[in-house]
Amino acid sequence: MKITAKKRRKNSTSGSTMVEVLIAFLVVMVMIVMFSRVVLTSSKMLVTSQKMIEKNESFNAGYYKTANQAGRQKLEGLSLSLAVDVEKTAAGNKAKEISIGLQSTGLQLYEDDETGYQLYSFFSEIH
């Protein structure tokens, strides 16, 4: 039995060069790093949104617990009035410049110490 070894040609392209392997490895590593960054960023955004939801729920709970007007600060020196916009009214309406003062109305402020949120709301008192 005679064993003959095949002679390899120098121009053989049946394999991969070291440069091709390194470039493929670097491309895979870049993709893995980018994917991990996306996952990390989305997890940070999830935590931030959950904290914001908790703050909003806490604020809403505190606001509706002080549903009575005494728990809210009324802002003084504010007068509300209705004004007719003569530019946008119909021509047949014959609207003139008019302003109607709204008595017993105002603006109140609710501040939540826990969350730091503020809510301005309008109120009217019926006599």
Q: Determine the pLDDT at residue 44.
A: 98
The pLDDT profile of the chain, 127 residues, written as one tens digit per residue, is 667 766 666 666 667 788 999 999 999 999 999 999 999 999 999 999 999 999 999 888 888 776 665 667 776 666 666 677 667 666 666 666 666 666 677 778 888 888 888 888 877 776 5
Neighbours of 6 (CB within 10 A): 5
Structure tokens at 108: 């109140």
Phi, psi of 100 (to 5 degrees): -110, 120
Residues 108, 72: contact at Cβ < 8 Å?
yes
User: What is the reported pTM?
Assistant: 0.53
Assess contact for 97 and 86: CB atoms under 8 A: yes
Q: Which residues contact 123 (CB under 8 A, 6 or more apart)?
A: 69, 74, 105, 106, 107, 108
